[in-house]
Structure 1
Amino acid sequence: MRAKLWVIKIGGNIIDDAEGLGRFLERFANLRGYKILVHGGGKIATRMAADLGIEAKLVEGRRITDEAMLRIVTMVYAGLTNKQIVAELQEKGCNAIGLSGADGNAIRTVKRPVKTVDYGFVGDILPGSVDTDTVATFVNAGFTPVFSAITHDGHGQLLNTNADTIAAALAVALSAQYATSLVYCFEKRGVLRDITDENAIIPEIRAGEFEQLKTSGIIADGMVPKLYNAFEAISKGVDEVCIGHAEDLHLLREQHFGTRLVR
């Protein structure tokens, strides 16, 4: 029987709220069993870039990572933010270890090819990107890996990589060894049947129902790719994907957390 593993991703809105982050990390530390935390960087990198006179460039909401911005996001994501999270988890009795994809060759990516937009030093995850032996070694030794959104290409180049994608790749890769649940924590309490009603949470969605909800327009905009990627992870071996609010993390064990996506 495979041991349970939680792969939990937190959004930038949580990182930007010091008190909210503290409450989330308390709940995360109290979650029993094997677990991995994945985070991005919130608005800190943008503010630091502005302080240094470096303009943050976005195309359709996606960050362009030129050489100057890569230095900023590496310092913030893999440095300041990662180590602050690790320090707070240690305070709460959770033996965390902060990692980038370069550490232990844990996550190797490829630089995104230029098509209509040159995203710069952005890494794309391909099948086989995750070194499962490295990650499992930390997990089985009793550490809680905390991954920043920085990876590498194996040729000495660091790359900025989407944290949602990293979390999904980790969950899929480790699903052969563990009964893996992928959890996305964001600012809503789940997938909503009515976006104007915070309490209109859809408790469970199966793959066939996703298509119906999308066709009817109940699921739209940015939630479509999020759920598409979630069901893609499930099709590749992840047991379930849960989407909900960071404040509700303690409800995971009782399966009352947000929206649960299953086969």
Structure 2
Amino acid sequence: MKLLRYGKPGKERPGLLDADGKIRDLSEHVADIGGAAISPASLKKLAKIDPSSLPLAKGKPRLGPCVTGTGKFICIGLNYADHAAESGMAVPSEPVIFMKATSSIVGPDDDVLIPRGSKKTDWEVELGIVIGKTAKYVTEADALNYVAGYCVINDVSEREFQAERQGQWTKGKSCDTFGPTGPWLVTKDEVKDPQNLKMWLTVNGKKRQNGSTNTMVYGAAYLVSYLSQFMSLLPGDIISTGTPPGVGLGMKPPKFLKNGDVVELGIEGLGTQKQTFVQDK
């Protein structure tokens, strides 16, 4: 299934995408896409629903973030060897973990605000893992049983805030609108191999990133297991798993986003996003 949330910000309704690419309303079956609604038992029930029996959404509504109730937005740094190289950093011997504020989460096609004072706003297409049931001390072999599904994430980053302003990376990753998420939560049964998905990103129509999850240093199952040794992963939590090479920081000379730039990105089978970057006042 491709689960989604649609409507105005803060008033999104639960839905799914049918085989014809139309949005069907799920409000009679779940309150929203998150928490108990994405548990294994709930997803099993939802999968039995005939999409044609569900009401069609009217018009072309805005898509919101594909999951709600996210308590933790966990990111993995330098998880592609070639991206680590372009960043001038070594491949880590263990996953690099940092948090992205949940207040950064927006819909996949919402405008992204370039923060006041920003000089180095950058892009990063990433595979997102959405947790479906509580995971604590899980093994790598069992880890994907705790996953509800996958989604596209643009881990927007302000490089000066991230690396030149002292402290940890969080403040360069957590600005308002820096977490476009969606368009859909694609349930794991539709993703045969999360380690073999093509991914791409363009800026103003020019290809900047063109990679695959098969070059990740630490795969999805390993990351879920690894993180669960340090913290409980709860339904709705998101793990953003790192980006392939081609970010603005790695260009020679570096190139960053400015007011009016349009970024498009996608991952095979998981949909696409499109954002206009707008200078915050």
Q: TM-score range by the shorter chain?
A: under 0.3
Q: Which has the higher strand share?
A: 2
Q: Which has the higher helix share?
A: 1
Q: How high is the TM-score relative to the length of structure 1?
A: 0.24
Which structure is higher in RCO with an 8 Å CA cutoff and minimum separation 6? 2
Q: How high is the TM-score relative to the length of structure 2?
A: 0.23
